[in-house]
A and B are shown apart, each in its own frame.
Chain A
């Protein structure tokens, strides 16, 4: 599968990589490095001493306490670990130091290849206002509107120009506060005053700007890869509209709503933006897609969680590409994409309240079979702690077409069983089974509309199964009690019997 890449024989100035991350992404990087004959150095916090990334890496360096600030986020410690172990490169993964320009600069200063873009590109794209300016200059479409604070005098005219419905947003905003949707001119002024007041209350800053309200937006993103010689390619799109509070849950590729023309335009826009900041490495340009038009949202200057969706469809190893590019090679030609792929994120959380769920993984069944990939750092006995992200695993499937991929994903979700913490699996399953998802015609509101209650037939079956297990337990407890009475011992109380069964099963392999 990887034979189409240029030979790496003459390559490596990269012989050892420090993996500045944990969890599944650290393992993901270690896997590719191993395949390339490159040594890996893991770093770890107190809580992660027995984590899989430590056990699978060639070497491991202890960083310190459990808090990310004392370990994975401590640039000095991480770079010192890379120097002490003679690493030529550092892979930041996602999160932690991946979009930190100081970390990238510290690597450069230490003579270590940072497997990501230059610090300037990280800085520019990290500043939302700056990023929008650059996007505009590069000819990338933005949501129409006014970038600056509006005053009452210009408001009516500006809204007319942009076209209703429009959105008023707090300049200092975030988290949905200070946002007003206005559908008609007569509602405009009142909404404006309310948005100002809300912005003032929430952020202590009453500046408000105006934007076109994008109806039924889809979140679609383009994966790009750029080398140090000006070469930029894109690997199609990922549809990430299944999200709540900006947390993606299910991603797929291709996006059902994208025509080849729009896809090509989006790809070009993403590549243009990358060129505008001399981008190097893997990056993602996020867009809103609505009624066949797309608008720039932001650029993520890292490898993303959902990158396997692209890998499955294009038969590419994006981490391998990152490492090759870091070593000075050119981007590989992009293969024709094949079939359809879907990723489901598995988070340790209560499926009803979305609160994180902590505990020890006592039981684990991993899915298998054709077209199934599981990226995780899970193992039986793993303690899910409150220190880090709640994502436990990513289930990625590939099928000949969307229908097959959905069926395969459902099948694999049933095989995947994690006991010890609650997970988001039921929500993902319900999403895949919903008519809205199946139709392919959905938008970022899909999870809010989702009926998360299991169908009646399943609830009925669960009640039957629960009664039957209690019957069996009672029967066994009865048999044990009878047995111990017969042998002259005291009959154990019922909970003790259950406890014994529990201990027996815990000691089972």
Chain B
């Protein structure tokens, strides 16, 4: 499976597949031998990359992965190739219209934009609290907010439409 990952302004594409007991990831010319094991607590992973060991706490919220590793905190956007294709089709159908939907059931703790706001790629649009974790939902591309369909304090179901952008 191909994954397109975004962090800050950078983008990397990884092809990941099962290989023997572990995984193999390819990024351009580079090949990594991976072994990823879920620790008993269900959110911590032991990750071996070419034999190097990393302790990772990961919170996967659909396409958003919140990581704590190496004493750092990262919010990485990860799309698999099917999602990317679906987004491309959706984007095409709507003539450039985009939707921001709730990735999980939760509470809207902050709406950082209003109708007509110009947003930059990666900018936080809505902060959703789910499972007592605050998750910033960010703009995938630069654009303009055309409709705001949620408000602060509101409980929303998974998949609920929060904003429309173009």
Contacts and interface: CB of A to CB of B under 8 A. Distances in A.
A467 interface: yes
14 contacts: A363-B57, A420-B133, A426-B73, A460-B12, A462-B74, A463-B12, A464-B27, A464-B34, A465-B56, A466-B65, A469-B36, A471-B1, A473-B60, A506-B131
Interface stretch (A20-28, A181-189, A411-419): A411-419
A423 B71 CA distance: 11
Main secondary structure of the interface of A (DSSP, over half): helix
Given A459-B7, A508-B40, A425 B133 contact: no
Contacts of B74: 454, 459, 462, 466
A422 interface: yes
Given A502-B42, A505-B41, 7 more contacts: A453-B8, A467-B25, A468-B16, A469-B56, A470-B65, A471-B1, A505-B42
A315 interface: no
Contact of B42 (A358, A410, A459, A504): A504
Interface string A414-455: 101101111101100100000000000000000000000110
Contact of A466 (B5, B34, B133, B134): B5
Contacts of B40: 508
Interface stretch (B43-51, B92-100, B142-150): B43-51
Interface in A359-379: 359-360, 362-363
B29 to A, nearest CB: 14
B68 A417 contact: yes
Contact of B41 (A359, A363, A420, A425): A363
A454 B132 contact: no
Interface string B83-117: 00000000000000000000111000000000000
Interface residues of B, number: 55
Nearest to A504: B42
B120 interface: no
Contacts of B7: 459, 462-463, 466
Interface of A: 351, 357-360, 362-363, 410, 413-414, 416-417, 419-423, 425-426, 429, 453-454, 458-474, 495, 498-499, 501-502, 504-506, 508-509
Contacts of A358: 134
* Most chain A beta-carbon neighbours within 10 Å: one of B72, B78, B104: B72
Contacts of B10: 459, 463
A63 B69 CA distance: 40
Contacts of B6: 463
B101 to A, nearest CB: 11
B36 A466 contact: no
Given A469-B45, A470-B80, A474-B80, A429 B60 contact: no
* Most chain B beta-carbon neighbours within 10 Å: one of A426, A464, A501: A464
Interface string B52-64: 0010111111100
B43 A505 contact: yes
* Most chain B beta-carbon neighbours within 10 Å: one of A417, A461, A463, A471: A463
B64 to A, nearest CB: 9
Given A465-B58, A468-B34, A470-B80, A426 B71 contact: yes
A461 B76 CA distance: 11
A199 to B, nearest CB: 34
* Most chain B beta-carbon neighbours within 10 Å: one of A359, A360, A363, A502: A502
Contact of A472 (B36, B59, B80): B36
B5 A461 contact: no
A505 B70 CA distance: 22
A163 to B, nearest CB: 44
Given A459-B74, A460-B12, A474-B1, A468 B23 contact: yes
Given A363-B43, A470-B80, A471-B3, A454 B58 contact: no
B69 A471 contact: no
Nearest to A361: B132
A313 B36 CA distance: 42
A417 B66 CA distance: 14
A462 B12 CA distance: 11
A359 B133 contact: yes
B42 A429 contact: no
Closest CB pairs A-B (n = 7) = A505-B42, A466-B76, A467-B3, A466-B65, A463-B5, A462-B74, A360-B132
